[in-house]
Amino acid sequence: MKILYIITQLGVGGAESVLVSMADKMVALGHEVEIISLLDINKQNFDSKILVHVLDLKRKPFSSMMKLSSIVGKFQPDVVHSHCLHSNIVARLIRIIVPIKKLVTTAHNTYEGQGLAMSIFKYTNFLSDVITNVSTDAVKAFENKKYVRFSQMLVMHNIIDIHKFEFSLNSRNEYRNMFGINENELALIAVGSMKDSKDYPNLLKAIQLIKEKKLEKFKLFIVGDGQLMNEIQDLASVFELEEYVYFLGNRSDINALLSMADIFILSSKHEGLPTVLVEAAMARNIIITTDCGGIDDILPTRENVVNTGDPIALAEKISEVMQWDNNKSINNINRVYDFVSKNLDPNIVSQQWLRIYSKS
């Protein structure tokens, strides 16, 4: 089968990483795959068999659309599968210009935008053969906002290379030594781009409250970069968290950093299926998260879920988990690990996608 994936911009974000995992998996299963990035890309690790076409849609919209049409015409894919709002719209519009045998469009969040773009998405739904989103919460959000009709959008999980993030004792020991984490210290970690939806101010306010309680020794490592980096670092300084919070920027060793950590914290306002929670589960972190979307597809219980935008509740939950005994911690970790391993096995999910691709 020939599969053409389209995404707005390949980089280091969740949806982008998921697309690479999906493409690599399909190549491993013997399918012919190409990728189109509508904007210039940041470096990614691509399978050597995957051809990546890079367009310049922002600066050269007309020529980019023509090039995209040419790629589709030349490759003659059996399936075109677009990801995220702008790529979904572009893929639908291209279908007016050039024949596409089957078009699958996937949203990746409970909230992908508003205004004109979402209106275009809504009124071009008829151009897609299949419309999906990555979690039950995300589908419900689109239905409630009437971006899709009831039952028009399917829940389809991401293909995530979950075993890449399996816990490593060697990495844990090496990285805890590297970052000077003592045996009596807890390592907290948060991973995500420095943008408004991740709500790092919520996390920093919670950490400030925990610092004032002086309950446990801890360090928080924040992995990620983005437009709000300076603003978030400044806020950490205002809260006098220099001895507690460490900004690591973008990293390629997320698996090792997660093995180093004891507790993973997600403070987002909204998500689709937070891939980073899957990674944290496989690395055997205790997970604390806001109720940002997609949580029930990853966690077997809501034991460590708090409301979005509530730093007091987040601080209380982090403080509580910090004081768990070893048995309680291990039981929680094992339940989440087993749930993720069963429900998000990439071999099972990839077969589900192939059924979508093949269904006439």
Q: Backbone phi, then psi, for 207, in 5-degree steps?
A: -65, -35
In the prediction, which pLDDT does 97 show?
A: 93
- Tell me how far apart the alpha carbons of residues 170 and 217 are, in angstroms, rounded to a whole number: 23
Predicted local distance difference test score (pLDDT) of residue 215: 73
287-299 tens-digit pLDDT: 999 999 999 999 9
pLDDT of residue 9: 85
* Residue 190: pLDDT over 70: yes
List, for residues 327-360, the tens digit of each pLDDT value: 999 999 999 999 999 999 999 999 999 999 998 6
CA angle (99 as vertex; 98, 105 as ends), nearest 5: 95
Per residue in 306-334, pLDDT (tens digit) is: 999 999 999 999 999 999 999 999 999 99
The pLDDT of residue 15 is 73
pLDDT digits (tens, 9 = 90+) for 263-275: 999 999 999 999 9
pLDDT of residue 47: 52
Say which CATH topology domain 162-343 has: Rossmann fold (3.40.50)
Count each helix (H run) and each strand (E run) in the chain, helices first. 13, 13
Mean pLDDT of the chain: 94
φ and ψ at residue 155, rounded to 5 degrees:
-85, 120
Please list the residue range(s) of the chain that carry CATH number 3.40.50.2000.
Answer: 2-159+345-358, 162-343
CA-nearest of 340, 189, 329, 348 to 275 is 340
48-62, 123-137, 230-244, range with the lowest pLDDT: 48-62
Q: How far apart are CA 34 and CA 53, in angstroms?
A: 8
**According to the model, what pLDDT value does residue 48 have?**
60
List, for residues 93-105, the tens digit of each pLDDT value.
999 999 999 999 9
Cα–Cα distance for residue pair 337/321, rounded to 1 Å: 17
Q: What is the pLDDT of residue 297?
A: 95
CATH architecture of the domain covering 2-159+345-358: 3-Layer(aba) Sandwich (3.40)
Handedness of CA 190, 194, 198, 202 (dihedral sign): positive
73/91 Cα distance (integer angstroms): 13
> pLDDT tier at 82 (50, 70, 90 boundaries)?
very high
CA-to-CA distance for 99 and 240, rounded, in angstroms?
Answer: 58
How far apart CA 131 and CA 142 sit, in angstroms, is 11
Rounded Cα distance, 157 and 277, in Å: 14
Cα 282–Cα 266–Cα 333 angle in degrees, nearest 5:
35
CA–CA distance, 91 with 115 (Å, rounded to integer): 19
Looking at the predicted structure, is the pLDDT value of residue 11 above 70? no
Residue range 49-60, pLDDT digits in tens: 789 999 999 899
